[in-house]
Amino acid sequence: LSRGLEQLRDLPAQTQDGHRVPLWVNTGLITDVSLALQRGAEGVGLYRSEVPFMIKEFFPSEAEQIESYRRQLEPFAPSPVTMRTLDIGGDKSLSYFPIDEDNPSLGWRGIRVTLDHPEIFLVQVRAMLLASEGLDNLRILLPMVASVVEVDEAVALINQAFAELVDDGYQLIQPEIGVMVEVPAAVYQVRHFAKRVDFLSVGSNDLTQYLLAVDRNNPRVADLYDSYHPAVLTALKQIVDEAHREQVQVSICGELAGEPIGALLLMAMGYDVLSMSSTSLPKVKSAIRGVSSEQAKLFLDTALSFDEPESVRQALEKMLADAG
Ligand code: PEP
Ligand code: MG
């Protein structure tokens, strides 16, 4: 680890006028944990629980899942670790659970799969809860939610798993539960979700894909996939405003949070937590430490004043370079 990075690890992510923004990380494999801690991560904003499922040949057993989850939760305790329930379908497939569809992004994915298979969901939630015993830093996050009905069903299953384990004598603390805002329908229901859960987390990767109707993995339309598109920026701002009106914490865990310019915009919008890959953390922290809140606010006002993405990018890159 270079000296510069090592020094940066122990410095707070704060602007020149002292506004702090917690920087958390996205993880999947066990190896992501040590890198995250080396980089000074203050928590996990997104543990992609499908990753250990994707590298196996069968569904992992409850015992195997407990072990994987414990290895994510323990090193960060008492800092929070946000574990997303299985998000398969779409661009994430399991060899032993094939889903063959013409239009997988709009098909059976995320919460839709696990609510149709409560036995898969319950084993996973039990494993998360059991792995958290004595650590109490678990947060559970629900992917691809489009309706409050899905939230209510998922929360009922989590409560059921929790009650059964407590009846069995386990010493557990109720985990915080959150919803991912990553489909356009969710953007317009922040108020309703906020009444049901403890936090929201924006998935800007899928939100960009679905708002712009651009496949996130199709190279032919890669030029059109742009999180600086005014439609995306407007939605991102609206989500924070509505969440805060309901006094619910809102974080963001898509790739945009790992780009220095994106992170400054999101901070200025008011996001409570930015979660990114560990490799992005130092450059985002440097960018935040390099500006004042007022400059970041100016960044945001500038970004929101354009009507197409390329101008947003160019203007912000110039402003960032000028800021030093
Ligand atoms: C997202 O959609 O922005 C997200 C964080 O989840 P994933 O990239 O795993 O779909
Ligand atoms: Mg997603």
73 lines ligand 1 (CB under 6 A): no
Q: How far apart are CA 321 and CA 9, in angstroms?
A: 23
The distance in angstroms from the start CA to the end CA of the chain is: 24
Interval 91-133: pLDDT, tens: 899 999 999 999 999 999 999 999 999 999 999 999 999 999 9
Distances (CA, A) of 36 to 9, 44, 257, 276: 10, 9, 15, 10
Residue 320: closest CA among 265, 279, 253, 256: 265
Q: What is the pLDDT of residue 282?
A: 95
Token output for 191: 């108020």
In this prediction, the answer to ipTM > 0.85 reads yes
Nearest CA owner, ligand 1 atom 1: 203
Distance (angstroms) between ligand 1 centre and the Cα of 182 equals 8
Distance (angstroms) between ligand 1 centre and the Cα of 206 equals 6
Token output for 300: 């945001």
- What is the distance of C-alpha 120 from the center of its chain? 22
Q: What is the pLDDT of residue 232?
A: 98
Q: What is the pLDDT of residue 6?
A: 78
Q: How far apart are CA 261 and CA 233, in angstroms?
A: 12
Distance (angstroms) between ligand 1 centre and the Cα of 108 equals 16
Q: What is the pLDDT of residue 263?
A: 98
Question: What residues are neighbours of ligand 2 (ion), with CB under 5 Å?
Answer: 182, 203, 206
Spell out, as residue ranges, where the chain has pLDDT lower than 50: none
Helical packing angle, 230-245 and 204-212, nearest 10°? 120
Q: What is the pLDDT of residue 1?
A: 57
Distance (angstroms) between ligand 2 centre and the Cα of 185 equals 14
Pocket test for ligand 1, best of 93, 144, 182 (most atoms within 8 A of CB): 182
50 lines ligand 1 (CB under 6 A): no
Q: What is the pLDDT of residue 322?
A: 86
105 lines ligand 1 (CB under 6 A): no
**Does the global pTM surpass 0.90?**
yes
Q: How far apart are CA 61 and CA 44, in angstroms?
A: 24
Q: What is the pLDDT of residue 195?
A: 97
Token output for 65: 């899942």
